[in-house]
Structure 1
Amino acid sequence: MMPDSNPQRPTQDLDFDPIKKLETRPPEASPEPKITAVRKTGSLLDKAKDLYQLLQQHPTIAHLLRATERFNDRLGNQFGAAITYFSFLSMIPILMLSFAAAGFILVSHPTLLQDIFGKILLSVSDPTLAATLKSTISTAVQQRTTVGIVGLLVALYSGINWMGNLREAIRAQSRDVWERKPQDEEKIWIKYFRDFVSLIGLLVALIITLSITSAAGAAQQMIISALYLDTIEWLKPVWHLVGLAISMLANYLLFFWIFWRLPRHRPRRRALIRGTFIAAVGFEVIKIVMTYTLPSLVSSPSGAAFGSVLGLLAFFYFFARLTLFCAAWIATAQYPDDRRMPGKTHR
Structure 2
Amino acid sequence: MDRIKALAADLPARLERLKARWPFLAHVMGMVDHYTARRGNTYAAAISFIGILSLVPVLMVSFAVAAFILARQPEVIDQITDAVTKKAPGQLGRQLNEVIDSAIASRRTVGVVGLVSAAFTGLGWMALVRNALSEMWGGRLKRSAVLGKVYDLGMFVGMGVMFVATIGLTVVTTGPIGTTVLEFIGIDDTAWGRLLLRVVSIAVSLAATWVLFIVVLSQMPLQSIPVRAVATSALAIAVAFEVLKSLGAIYLTAVLGSPAGAAFGPILGVMVFAYLASRIVLYGAAWAASDPRHADLLTADEMEGDEDVEKGPVYLAPVYEVARTPSTRQLVTAAGIGAAVAAAASRIRRKS
Q: Over aligned residues, Cα RMSD in angstroms?
A: 3.8
Q: Distance in 2 between matches of 1:272 and 1:85?
A: 26
1:205 aligns to what? 162
Deviations 1:126-160 (A, max 9, x none): xxxxxxxxxxx8xx75xx54532211110011111
Gaps (5+ residues) in structure 2? 73-101, 301-352
Q: What are the residue-to-residue correspondences of 1:178-197 with 2, within 5 Å?
A: 178=139, 180=140, 184-197=141-154
Report the CA distance shift for 1:288/1:103 in structure 2 as closer, same or farther (over 3 A).
closer
Is the CA contact (8 Å cut-off) linking 1:229 and 1:235 kept in structure 2?
A: yes
Q: What are the residue-to-residue correspondences of 1:49-128 with 2, within 5 Å?
A: 49-57=12-20, 58-94=22-58, 96-97=60-61
Is the CA contact (8 Å cut-off) linking 2:256 and 2:268 kept in structure 1?
A: no
Q: Distance in 1 between matches of 2:252 and 2:114?
A: 28
Q: Distance in 2 between matches of 1:189 and 1:328?
A: 29
1:286 aligns to what? 244
Q: Which SS does the other structure have where 1:90 is aligned?
A: helix
> If the length of structure 2 is used for normalisation, what is the TM-score?
0.65
1:254 aligns to what? 212
Amino acid at match of 1:318: L
> If the length of structure 1 is used for normalisation, what is the TM-score?
0.66
Q: Which SS does the other structure have where 1:186 is aligned?
A: coil
Is the CA contact (8 Å cut-off) linking 1:171 and 1:263 kept in structure 2?
A: yes
Q: Distance in 2 between matches of 1:306 and 1:226?
A: 50
Q: Distance in 2 between matches of 1:301 and 1:327?
A: 35
Cα displacement (A) at 1:265: 2.5
Q: Distance in 2 between matches of 1:81 and 1:70?
A: 17
Amino acid at match of 2:210: Y
Q: 2:186 aligns with which of 228, 244, 250?
A: 228
Q: Distance in 2 between matches of 1:202 and 1:170?
A: 15
User: Highest Rg: 1 or 2?
Assistant: 1
Deviations 1:44-63 (A, max 9, x none): 55675554222222221111
Deviations 1:184-231 (A, max 9, x none): 212211111110111111112112211221222222233224333245
Report the CA distance shift for 1:302/1:224 in structure 2 as closer, same or farther (over 3 A).
farther
Amino acid at match of 1:226: F
% identical aligned pairs? 29
Q: How many residues align?
A: 270
